[in-house]
Every structure is written in C-alpha cells, then in structure tokens.
C-alpha cells in the first residue's frame, strides 16, 4: 500500500476516531456502512443549518440596507 498524503492520513484518522472506519489488522481497514450513513446524515444536517443561517443573514442585510 502506498504512503498516504497528509490530507488522506488526516481524513483516515478522523474516520477511525468516529468509528466510520475500523482497523481489522495493522494497515487493514474496513468501512462500517451504517456509521458512514449516520456520519453523512450529520454532515448533511450541518450544511443545511449553515446554509439556512447564511441565507437569513443575507436577507437581514438586504432588508436593512433597502428598507430602513
């Protein structure tokens, strides 16, 4: 197996820490599909909340600059 670039190694460490990827043996990993789906759902919810917040701020700025 080739060496991982630093960004790949970081992502692997984060997935292992979150239980998305397990280590079957030294250097051998597996994907826990159920935990991966949970992880994806959490990330999706975070994106929706952030996008909603940004949208509300943009609407507020627009409202304040045009209707005060």
pLDDT at residue 40 greater than cutoff 80:
yes
Percent of the chain at pLDDT above 90?
Answer: 88
Per-residue pLDDT band for 27 (boundaries 50, 70, 90) equals: confident
Predicted pLDDT at 68: 78
The owner of tokens 């597996």 is 30
Using CA atoms in the order 59, 61, 63, 65, what is the torsion angle rounded to 10 degrees? -150
Average pLDDT of the residues in 31-35 = 97
Mean pLDDT of 9-30: 93
3-state secondary structure the chain: CCCCCHHHHHHHHHHHHCCCEEEEECCEEEECHHHHHHHHHHHHHHHHHHHHHHHHHHHHHHHHHHHC
pTM here?
0.72
């Amino acid at each position: 197996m080739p060496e991982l670039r630093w960004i790949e190694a970081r992502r692997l460490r984060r997935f292992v820490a979150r239980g998305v990827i397990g280590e079957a043996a030294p250097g051998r990993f597996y994907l826990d599909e159920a935990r991966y789906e949970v992880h994806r759902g959490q990330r999706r919810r975070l994106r929706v909340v952030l996008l909603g917040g940004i949208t509300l701020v943009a609407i507020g700025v627009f409202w304040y600059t045009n209707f005060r």
